Structure 1
């Protein structure tokens, strides 16, 4: 999770490859109306995101029901959005890609072919962002290399050895 320009898709693809999981870009599941709205430079609101989050939660539930792993790149800006996603999988693990506004803006300026446009869109996402607390996500800075981010997050997914009680 993270705002636009944080590297969700790139990191998500690498993480999925490392884990042997399916990768899904949440942006591919926005309605045509949402895509048109964002392409025009108009930020989405909670109502716009409602069906989109329900779709992503359903995807999590379907993969869990099949016993398959999935990595979904999604902004997940607000805690209630992340809670909605957890309805699809209560064991959902979240990676928050945290970056400064300056670095995010630089990344967005160099990105081509994406519907997300304009400084006002980034400003809107940053205004809506409720950074996750330690109880709901692993936070890593986007200033790290993608390989290091994937390695560090993957390490948090490893099962912890059980301690014997004697």
Structure 2
């Protein structure tokens, strides 16, 4: 077996070929995407139904704008998170899996950022309509900070703290 080396020439810690590594990374990526896809699809489906409720007609102009932005963000997040599946299907068997994994990883990251924006604007809309309180922006900011910490802060800290030089 070949020892896999990264772009910097250092060992990756696994004895696998480039193709085996791409296969493993693809399986891991698709598992991750499944979690995010489910959440964004449920949220997006719910958002699509809101416009057909009687309460929608009574929304203030600002809340309608927030709703439209939220739906567009949800559609974009859905596209980015489903993109890796389409990518795999269209390039399968073409011997470009390492490149496909790299692109799918980027699409997934973009999808997560768009999902963060969708959830932020959804929360803003719901809290504005439900409470009409002055503290809504503070609540949304606290939740966004929590998302950033859970989705990016802690993972980046772990990556920095526990990535060993090889």
TM-score, normalization by structure 2: 0.26
| Structure having the larger proportion of residues in helix | 2
| Structure having the larger proportion of residues in strand | 1
Q: Which has the larger radius of gyration?
A: 2
Higher relative contact order (CA closer than 8 Å, sequence separation 6+): 1
